[in-house]
Every structure is written in structure tokens, then in C-alpha cells.
Structure 1
């Protein structure tokens, strides 16, 4: 099967997955208690006004008609309007995407910078204190809930040691859009791209420093589980590669151990790591909900929690649908990349 046919088949499978997500979301809204029209208008609305809204929004139609209308709107790219803010859902979703992507990428970078060297050390020094320490770190990282870790980081660094961290309280900064405004000085850093442009155009590193100050603890919190996972995967993969004949052959030729370890063994170990990396990026996008809430990070997760609190169903559906689309897309890209990196993997 050619790569084009493989991508078409995976895309078709992804469409069915998205359709399943849409159906489940619509079903949950249909069976949830409460009248959507009353939720849109609030408690002070008259019954006449509620009935009028129900008629305008099509809420008095049979459930299958509402479902067909909803699918038709999605096909046209119309996610509807938020019941509370009366804004287009797609705009409310897209304006929070950069912050969530920044957090997911930062967590991934931190995980790779820590996990790969730690896994290499653990694999090459089996049975030593370094190996036991890396194994213990992996066990703790996988077992620790990220929301608890975030709260502990805030408690230890922000409260006990008094390290200033603007996003921990309202005294230093407040979240605006996809960035933060520093109230005392009026300085604003709107995401990584804005901070990078400040360096290129003005030679100023202040915005980048402010961005790093805000994103460090959330990224560590979100990336801890990922770090532990990659550490264990790197260790087990390298141990498996060390036992293969090509390693013995390269060592018998007199190649330095460092060259064998990093050019051959680690390179072959990176193939499954890349696969897990892609899959975890989708997981990080969806799993950032709690981390964003703990640190007041202005991403999709925080907006989803806010929409959940006021039962803004169109906004909730739009955010979850976007996360599902991102997850499916990342899976397809990773599958294609995996078959490209490893010719032994069939696209059948």
C-alpha cells in the first residue's frame, strides 16, 4: 500500500473517530438536566421569552432533527455561539490555542532535556546508584498527580521560600489573552512569538524572561509524567539495543564506547521515543486542563473549566472537539513519520 493510500485510510478512520466524539458530546448535552434556553437567558427570563428562544434555536425540534442540524453546522465550520459571552465559539477556541500549544511544547522540551540523558545514564550504569535513582524518579513521576505537584510547587516555592512568581497571585500579574500583563510596570508579554519578536526587533530579552517566568512551573508540572515515561522508555530501549549483535560488532571493531552509545544505540532507541512523543503531544493538549487551572494559565483548559462552571455547552463542545481533532491529527502524522523513519514498518 502506498503512503498516499495509507494517509487516506488513516484520515477516514480519523473522521469516524471525530464523528464519534461529536455524537457523544451531543448526547451528553441532550441528556443533561436543565433547559438550554433557560441557561442562555438566566433566571430572570419570562416563560414567553424562553419559548421564543427555544423556537429560534431549534430546541423545540425532535432530538434527531437537532442532531442533524448540529452535524450540518459542523460540516460548514460553524461551531455556534457561546451562550454566556455571545461570541463565536471558533474565535473563543482559537484565541486560546497558542497558550495551550506553548505549554505543551515547553513541557515536551523539558521532558526530553531531562529524560533522554537520564535514561542513557540509567541504561549504561545498570545496578548502580544512578540507575536506582533514575528508576525511583520514574516511579515517582508516573505516580504523582500533576495537580498535586502543581500545588506543592506553589506552596514550596511561592509560599515557603517566597520566590516571586507572577501567575501565582493577582498581586504581580493578571492573565490577558494568551499572555500576561505586569501591573506595576505595565509591561506585557503575549506568548513566545511576541517575546521572540522583541528580541529580534529590539534586542530586548525582558519579554522572554517574563514569558519563561510564567511558563516554567506549569511546564514542569505538566511534563513530569512525560519525563518519567520517556526515561523508562529510553532505559529499556537502550538495554534492548545493547544486547543486539550489531553492538558487539561495532565494539569489536574498536569504536569508542561513546560513539557506539550515542550514534548507534541511542539513534535506534529514538524511533519508539518519537512515536510516544507524538502521541503524548495530543495527551498533553488534553491533559493541560488541570495544570492550566492550577496556575491560571490562559489556555483551552482554563476556558473549558470556565465554560463547565456556567454550563456553556456550545463552548464546551467546541473546545473538546478541537482537542479531539488535534489528537487525531497528531496520531496520523506520527504514524506516517514512523513508517518513514523505520522502513521495516509496513503501511498495511
Structure 2
């Protein structure tokens, strides 16, 4: 199968996944208790006002008509209006994307910088103290809940030592980089780094542990193959064999997990953003849940689903180029 056909198939699968998420979310909204018009207007609204709002919003239409109207709106980029703030949902989602994206990328960078070297060392020094230490670190990282780790980091580095701030996002990464390039001032970039360090460590700890274990197991498997013996017999340096040949062949499963986890980090930052008051999609989703603002909740979930499947398709394209055998699956 060619790469083009492979990607077309993956894209069609992604479209069906997003459609499924949209349908499930709409179904949950339809069966949830409470009248949407009453939620929009408050308990003190008169029956006439509620009836008028229901007619304006199409809530008095049959459920299948509401569903078709909602899907048609999504196809043209219309996510509706927030019941709480009466703002366009797409605007409320878009304005929070940069903060969540920054946090997800920072957590991924932290994980890769720590996990891959640690996994390589653990695999090449099996049954040594370095291997035991990496294994213990992985076990602790996977077992530690994010919310508890975030609170402990705030308590230690924010309250007791006073090294890092405990929340907020006073400046975005794009603005900080622009300030550095345009004016030669690194103050905003340093401020951004200070504020994102603790949330990135909290969100990236589980990911770090997962990639460390995956790298170690992949490296151990590859180191036992005949081509490694052949490269060593040719006199190639051990570092070159590990990082150019063995690690490259280990990267396909790592890329797969990386793609899946990037999508997961986009949607799974809810707890971390809440703990650190980080103004991203996760924090906005919690606010929408508290207010039972269904259009906003649906918009955020649909965006996360689209981001998740888009990242997966991109990863499929990347590792299909690394391993052509994937195209035949």
C-alpha cells in the first residue's frame, strides 16, 4: 500500500472518530437533567421568557433536528454560543489554546530530555545501580498522581523555598519570544520559564516514566540483535552504535506513544491547569462543567478530539516513512 493510500485510510478513520465524539457529546447533552433555557436564564425567569428562548435556540425542535443543526454548524465552524457568557464558543476555545499547547509541549520536552538518555543508560547498564535507579524512578513516576505531585511541588519550591511562582501565566511564549527578538530583552522569557516549570514537571512526570521504560525495553531488545554485533565487529564506537543505529530502531514505538501522549496531554492537563491556575482549555472545561455550559463543554471536547486524531495521523505519516512495513498493515 502506498503512503498516500495509507494516509487517506487513516484520515477517514480519524473523521469517524471525531464524528463519534460529537455524537456522544450531543447525546449526553440531550439526556442530561435540566432545561437548557432555564440554565441560560436562571431560576427566576418567567415561563414566557423560557419558551421564547427555547424557540430562538431551536430547543423546541425534535432531537434529531437539533443534532443535524449542530453537526451542520460544526462543518462551517459554528460551535454555538456559551450559555453562561453568551460569547462564541470557538472564540472562547481559541483564546485558551496557546496556554494549553505551551504546557503540553513543555511537558513533552521535559519528558524527552530526561527519559531517552535515562532509558539508554538503563538499557546499557543492566543490573547495575543506574538501571535500578531508573527503574525505581519510572515506578514512582507512573504511580504518583499528578494533583498530589503538583501540590507537593508548590509546597516545596513555591512556598518553602520560594524559587518558582505557584501559578498563573502572566505572559505567553509567543509574546516572550517577540520581546526577546524585537527588543533584546529576555525578561519576559525568563518569567514564562519560571511560571511553566512546575506545571510542566507535574504534567510530564508520568510521560517521562513511560518513555523511560519504553526506551529501555526497546534498547534491550535491539542490543541483542545480530546487526549490533556486526557493527561492533567493524570497530564502530559504542556511542555511535547506541544512538545512531540502536536508538533509531527503537524510535518507532516511542513516536507512537509520543503522538498518543501529545493528544492525551492536550486533554489531560485539566487537573494540572486547575492546581496551578493555568489559563488553558482544562481550566475552562472545569468552569464550563461547574456552570453546566454544554455548548462550551462540547466545543472544548470536540477540539481536543480533533487535535488528538490530527496528531495521530501526523505520527502515522512520520513512522510510516521510518518503517515502510507499516503501510502494509
The whole-number CA distance in structure 1 between the counterparts of 2:37 and 2:221 is: 60
**Match of 1:297?**
278
> Residues 16-59 of structure 1, C-alpha deviation per residue, up to 9 Å, x if partnerless?
11111111101111111111000001122111101110111111
Structure with more helix by fraction: 2
**Match of 1:248?**
229
> Residues 44-77 of structure 1, C-alpha deviation per residue, up to 9 Å, x if partnerless?
2111101110111111111111111111111221
**Match of 2:195?**
214
**Match of 2:85?**
85
> Residues 269-298 of structure 1, C-alpha deviation per residue, up to 9 Å, x if partnerless?
122212211111001101111110110001
Q: Normalising to structure 2: TM-score of the pair?
A: 0.97
The whole-number CA distance in structure 2 between the counterparts of 1:38 and 1:311 is: 11
The whole-number CA distance in structure 1 between the counterparts of 2:149 and 2:244 is: 36
User: In 2 relative to 1, CA 166–204 (structure 1 residues): closer, same or farther, beyond 3 Å?
Assistant: farther
**How many angstroms does 1:340 deviate by?**
0.4
**Match of 1:340?**
321
- Aligned pair 1:18/2:18, yes or no? yes
The whole-number CA distance in structure 1 between the counterparts of 2:290 and 2:193 is: 30
Taking the TM superposition and a 5 Å limit, the aligned residue runs for 1:165-180 are 165=165, 167=167, 175=168, 179-180=169-170
The whole-number CA distance in structure 1 between the counterparts of 2:201 and 2:95 is: 24
**Match of 1:331?**
312
User: In 2 relative to 1, CA 298–46 (structure 1 residues): closer, same or farther, beyond 3 Å?
Assistant: same
Indicate the larger mover: 307-316 or 66-75: 66-75
> Residues 168-215 of structure 1, C-alpha deviation per residue, up to 9 Å, x if partnerless?
xxxxxxx5xxx41xxxxxxxx2x1111111111111010001000110
> Residues 121-152 of structure 1, C-alpha deviation per residue, up to 9 Å, x if partnerless?
10111111110010000011111111111111
Taking the TM superposition and a 5 Å limit, the aligned residue runs for 1:306-325 are 306-325=287-306
**Match of 1:200?**
181
The whole-number CA distance in structure 2 between the counterparts of 1:131 and 1:12 is: 43
The whole-number CA distance in structure 2 between the counterparts of 1:248 and 1:166 is: 51
Determine helix, strand or coil for the equivalent of 1:80: coil
The whole-number CA distance in structure 1 between the counterparts of 2:18 and 2:236 is: 50
**How many angstroms does 1:257 deviate by?**
1.5
**Match of 1:171?**
none
Taking the TM superposition and a 5 Å limit, the aligned residue runs for 1:84-123 are 84-123=84-123
**Match of 2:74?**
74
Taking the TM superposition and a 5 Å limit, the aligned residue runs for 1:31-50 are 31-50=31-50
- Residue number among 245, 266, 269 corresponding to 1:288 in the alignment: 269
The whole-number CA distance in structure 2 between the counterparts of 1:166 and 1:290 is: 15
**How many angstroms does 1:334 deviate by?**
0.8
Determine helix, strand or coil for the equivalent of 1:344: helix
Moved over 4 A (4+): none
Residues 6 and 327 of structure 2 are in contact (CA less than 8 Å); yes or no, is this contact kept in structure 1?
no
Gap regions ≥5 residues in structure 2:
none
**Match of 2:27?**
27
Residues 154 and 166 of structure 2 are in contact (CA less than 8 Å); yes or no, is this contact kept in structure 1?
no
- Aligned pair 1:161/2:155, yes or no? no
The whole-number CA distance in structure 2 between the counterparts of 1:253 and 1:132 is: 31
Residues 25 and 317 of structure 1 are in contact (CA less than 8 Å); yes or no, is this contact kept in structure 2?
yes
**How many angstroms does 1:345 deviate by?**
2.3
Residues 3 and 347 of structure 1 are in contact (CA less than 8 Å); yes or no, is this contact kept in structure 2?
no
The whole-number CA distance in structure 2 between the counterparts of 1:71 and 1:123 is: 50
**Match of 1:170?**
none
**Match of 1:56?**
56
Q: State how many pairs are aligned.
A: 329
> Residues 230-259 of structure 1, C-alpha deviation per residue, up to 9 Å, x if partnerless?
100111111111100011111112222122
- Residue number among 209, 219, 227 corresponding to 1:238 in the alignment: 219
Q: Normalising to structure 1: TM-score of the pair?
A: 0.92
